[in-house]
Structure formats: structure tokens, C-alpha cells
Amino acid sequence: PIPNGFSLSVKANVNNLGQVYLAGPIPVAGGLTPQADAITNVGIAANRITLDPGDTVELYITNADLVAILGSAAGNSVDILVEQ
């Protein structure tokens, strides 16, 4: 869990060879859990956030398991921090 007043900071590595996609638990048909919805949504362009290499996003969410992350190229990575 992420405490109230804290955020999840996700930064795409500056050396990534492509974009990184993030998605949350927007309900989708057939989704069984918020985590399953996030995994489905990361594959849908209209339902995800796109980070270019070096981009950062702050997410004010209650739990990191509500976010799915997918790289557009093998070996892409992100740094994740919980910040106040």
C-alpha cells in the first residue's frame, strides 16, 4: 500500500530504446480484478499513458499493484519511487 499524501513516481530510463506504457484499472469487459483490468488496458492505446525515455509521471494511487507497465522494446526499464 501507498500511504495517503504519497505518490508513486515512475521514470522511464533515459537509455530506453522505445516508449514505456502505463495503465490503471479502468474497468474493461471480462475483467475480473483491478490488476487484470490494468494489464488489459496497457495494451490499449486509448487507455494508457506513454512515457518517452527520461519522462516521469507522478501517480496518486493507493497501491502499486494497480499499475501495469509495458515497454515497447525489449530491455526498456523504469525507476519507481514512493515519494511524499
**How confident is residue 22, by pLDDT bands cut at 50, 70 and 90?**
very high
The dihedral over CA atoms of 52, 33, 62, 19, expressed in degrees to the nearest 10, equals 0
pTM score: 0.89
The pLDDT, as a whole number, for residue 75 is 96
Q: What secondary structure does DSSP assign to 36-47, as a single string?
A: HHHHHHTT-GGG
- Tens digit of pLDDT for each residue in 25-82? 988 877 789 999 999 999 999 999 999 999 999 999 999 999 999 999 999 999 999 9
DSSP class of 66: G
Higher-confidence residue: 31 or 9?
9
